[in-house]
Amino acid sequence: MDTIVEGRCEELRDLSMVNLIVSIVIVIGMLISYLPQHARIIKRRTSEGISPYFVLLGTTSGTSAFANILLLPKSRQDVACCKELETFHCIAGLLGIAQLGVQWICFTFIFVLFLVFFRYGPDDDTEIQELEDNQPRWQTALLVASLTLLHGLAVIVITGVLSAVAKDYLPTWANVLGIMATLLAAVQYIPQIWTTYHLKHAGSLSIPMMCIQTPGGYVITASLFARLGWGGWSSWGMFLMTATMQGVLLCLAIYYEIQAHSAATPKPPSPDNAPLLPDGHHSDYGTNRP
């Protein structure tokens, strides 16, 4: 084991309990935060209101980010140190990788649910027509699925080839993946913001999920920055960008929910709108006039 890896192993042995607790809370919180979104799609049995391009960009961004952190020199050193460390210190050292792994798995499940519940199934013919006017075509869903799978396959193949014949280029490839993840995350929420603005309601998009994830994204950014430093910008930069864009979408969704609630609240009748008596005067019914 070379000197650099040995030094990294010593850092992992000198474990910070604060960073460990924060990392564990982040992993658990990330799992919990996605449950409302999964449950909402399953409960409504439709992916209405969720942009297919949001799903495409989010899944490919998550794939790139997960591959990025796996290939970063510090992450590879952490994995190598597991041969020398006790199980507890090994697991603690890999929590940074686990954070992005959990995020990737959870968003990929949204991708699966989007495809499974892509078709709408209301009984009313008028409602079917309204939904068909707003929903993306099945060709779009097929395109999203194909591009997502091709992207994942390309990442696996390129990483495998470089690992076998050109390991010196792995850090460069990791940075390319990090830049790709950040750029995809930067535009990920644009189609979803447009879709929500166009529909004027959240649809199957979960507001509780965004309420948890928006502040959580900044916490993850700080955690990864503390673990990786400025050299890990390609990893924590994605979370910083995503949290900011998600905050914009959250404000938009809450605004439309408040509007819908206000419109659905019955208003008391105004005296000016009271029914007329035969003599042409307004009825005193519902007023306090004697």
pLDDT band at 272, cuts 50/70/90?
Answer: low
Q: Please give the average per-residue pLDDT across 98-124, as a whole number.
A: 82
Say which range, 31-35, 58-62, 111-115, 264-268, has the weakest mean pLDDT. Answer: 264-268
Out of 7-11, 62-66, 85-89, 139-143, the most confident range is 62-66
Residue 272 or residue 243, greater confidence: 243
Mean pLDDT of 223-233: 78
Q: How far is CA 204 from the centre of its chain?
A: 14
Q: Which helix (H) or strand (E) holds 91?
A: helix 87-93
Query: In this predicted structure, what is the pLDDT of residue 150?
Result: 97
| Range in 102-106, 132-136, 273-277 with the lowest mean pLDDT | 273-277
pTM above 0.95, yes or no: no
Residue 244 CA neighbour count, 13 Å, CB half: 11
Query: pLDDT above 70 covers what percent of the chain?
Result: 82
Round to whole Å and give the CA distance between 242 and 259: 26
What is the pLDDT, as a whole number, of residue 35? 95
Residue 123 pLDDT > 70: no
Q: What is the pLDDT of residue 279?
A: 55
Q: What is the pLDDT of residue 190?
A: 93
What's the average model confidence in pLDDT over 138-147?
Answer: 88
Q: For the chain, give the mean pLDDT.
A: 82
Report how far residue 99's alpha carbon sits from residue 66's, in angstroms, rounded to the nearest whole number: 9
Top-confidence residue, 170 or 268: 170
